[in-house]
Amino acid sequence: MSLIRRILGSSLSLLLLVTALVVGSIFTPNFSVEVGELPSASSQSAKAADLRLVCPGSAYRSGGASGTRLGVFDQVGTAEVNAIVSPKLVETAGAAVQSVALSAQGDSSVLPPASGVPARIARPTAITAIDAGGKLDQGSQLLSVSTLQLQNSKEFSGLLAASCQAPSTDLWFVGGDTSIGREGLLIVTNPSRVDAQIDVIAFNAGGRVKADGLTGLSVPAGKTLVLQLASDLLNQSTLALHLSATGGSVAAWLQQRTMRGTIPGGSDFIGPATELSKSLVIPGLLLRGTADAAAIIKTRPEYGDQTPLLRVFVPAMTATSAANGAGAKAGQTVTVTAQIFGASARTFGTVLRQELTVGTVTDIPITGLADGDYVAFVSAEQPVRASIRLPRTNKTKSPATDFTWLQAGESLQGIRGFRVPQSGVTKLSLGNASKSEARLQLGSPAQIIAGTAPIVTLAAGAVRTIGLTAGALVWMKTESSALRANLVTDLDSTVSSLPITDFKNSAEQLLISVR
C-alpha cells in the first residue's frame, strides 16, 4: 500500500513539473542577447558648468614688509575691478553673481561668498555667474572682469592690469626676465575643490631649461602658490613658460618687476599667451616717450630694455603635431617675419625678418619707430607664440619708466563685451589680418542689440586706434574672423594692457546606456 502511494506521489510530482515547464514556455519573456552586442544608448544633455573667472587680486611683494624674509610674499594695496555683467543674471530665476575671496599663500582664512562683483579686491577672487537652469548663453556678454592697480612706492612702481581667467589645465607664457634687477613671480591660483598638481617647463634662447624645482608642485584647493622663478631660473633674460595642471584647474599670471639699483622701473601682470599659429596679430604697440628713452639709454645702458622688442617662441614638433603632419624638429630653423604697420600716414612702420631655431625663444629688438600707434603682423613657416614688450619713458617723472607685455590677439568674430578701466586713459587697438575689408560694430550693449552702434571699417591689413570712455560698458560685434584687438591704458606715465577675451563653458551630450 505504501509502495502504491509512493508511485502515485512520484507520478503527481512529475505531472506538475511538466505542467510548469509548458506554462513557463508560454508566458516567460523571450531574451536574445548576442556576445558583443551593446544595449542602445540614450542621449542626455548635461548643463554647462557655471562660468567662473579668477582674478589675481593686488600686486605681490616679495620678502614681506621688510623685503628680507625669504619665501614670504604678501599682497599690497587693492586693485580696481572692472566688470560687465549681463542684466539677464538679475532677471533670470535661479541666476546670480557670486564672489569668493580665496586664500593667499600662507593664509588659511576663508571668507564667506558675497553677492555681486566687488569694487576693489586685495586677494585672489573667483567671480561666478551662477545659472542653475543653464538657460543663459555664456561668454563675455554674460560676464567679463579685469583688474587695474597703480603701484607708486620707493620699491615698487608701475601699472598692473590683469584679465580675470577661466581656470585651465594648460597655460603658456611668452614673457618674463630673471636677470639682475628683474623679478619674475609665477602666481598660480586653484579655485577648485580638489588639489592641483602642476609642472612648469621653461624655455630660453638655448632651448629647454633644466628646472627640477618647478615640477611636481602642489596647489591646494582654494589657495594660491607664488613661485620665485629666479630660484630655479637664475639670470634668464629670455623666457617662455608652459604650465600644465592635473587634478584641479588653475588660473595663473606672471608678475614681472624691474629694479635698477634702488630705483623702481615698472611692473606688469603678464597673462597667458592663448594663440599658437603661423599668422599672429599683436595690436597695441602705442609708442610714447621714444625720444626720452633714447636720451636716457645713451648715458645709462641699464635702461636698454626701454626699447620695444618682439619675443617669439617656436615650439618643437610634438607627437600630436607630427601625426597631423605639422611642426618642425628641435634644432631646425624657420623664417619669422613681422610687419609693423602704423595707424596713420605719419607713422612709418618697419619689417623684421629673422631665422629662428625651433625649440628656442628669441628676442628681436624693434628699432627705428617714432612715437605713434602700431600693430604687428607676425608670420612664420611653423606655428609660433609671440608677444611684444611695450615700454613707457618720461624723463620728467620719477620713476621715469614702466612697461607692459602685449599678447597676440584672439579673433573677435561674434560679440565681445568688456568694461573700460575706470582709471587712466584707455585706447582700443585694432588690426585686420585679412586680405579684404572688415567691419566692426562698436558701442554700448543697448546699441549693439538695437543695431544702432557706430560701424568701424578697416581695409585689408589696416590698423586703427580708438579712444574709449573710462568706465564704459562696451560691446563689439563682427562677422570677420580676421579682426584682432588689445586694450592699452595709460595713467600718469605708466602703461598696462588687456586682451579681449570671451570665456565660456559648453554643454555636453552624454550617451547613457543601462547594462
Q: Where are the domains of the chain?
A: 43-512
**Euclidean distance between CA atoms 497 and 162, whole angstroms:** 8
Of 403, 75, 424, which Cα lies nearest the Cα of 259? 403
Torsion of CA 160, 166, 167, 171, to 10 degrees: -60
H helices of 80-180, in order, are 88-91
Q: What is the pLDDT of residue 1?
A: 45
**Which residue type sits at 50?**
D
CA dist 140 and 209 (Å) reads 37
pLDDT score, position 323: 46
Residue 320 burial (C-beta neighbours within 10 Å; 0-12, 13-18, 19+):
exposed
Report the DSSP beta bridge partners of residue 218: 197
pLDDT at 115: 81
Rg (Cα) of the chain, in Å, rounded?
A: 30
pLDDT at 105: 60
d(CA 504, CA 248): 18
The identity of residue 268, as a single letter, is D
- One-letter amino acid at 348 equals F
Dihedral of CA atoms 211, 215, 221, 222 in degrees, nearest 10, equals 20
d(CA 97, CA 418): 16
Sheet with 224-228, edge to edge strand ranges = 224-228, 182-189, 251-260, 263-270
Task: With beta carbons less than 8 A apart as the criterion, state whether 490 and 158 touch.
Answer: no
79 and 120 Cβ atoms separated by less than 8 Å: yes
List, run by run, the mean pLDDT of 10-residue segments along the chain (515 residues).
46 46 44 51 73 97 76 92 93 90 67 86 96 92 97 92 98 97 97 97 96 95 96 96 97 97 95 97 97 94 94 83 62 95 90 97 96 98 97 93 98 98 98 97 97 97 97 97 98 97 79 54
What pLDDT, on a 0 to 100 scale, did the predictor assign at position 472? Answer: 97
Q: What is the pLDDT of residue 347?
A: 87
29: CB partners within 8 A, 6+ apart:
none
DSSP 202-229: EEETTEEE--GGGSSEEE-TTBEEEEEG
Dist. CA 444–CA 259, nearest whole Å = 41
Q: In this structure, are strands 157-163 and 42-46 parallel, antiparallel, or unpaired? A: unpaired
Query: What contacts 159, CB < 8 A, 6 or more positions away?
Result: 148, 149, 150, 151, 402, 404, 424, 489, 491, 494, 495, 496
CB 353 within 8 A of CB 441: no
Whose grid coordinates read 587712466?
424
Per-residue model confidence (pLDDT) at position 70 = 75
Q: What pLDDT was estimated at residue 512?
A: 57
Q: Is 285 helix (H, G, I), strand (E, B) or coil?
A: strand
d(CA 477, CA 179): 42
Residue 453, all three cell numbers: 552702434
Asked whether the bond before 283 is cis by omega within 30 degrees of 0, the reply is: no
Distance (Å, rounded) from C-alpha 97 to C-alpha 88? 11
Three cell numbers at 85? 555683467
**Nine-digit cell string for 444:** 554700448
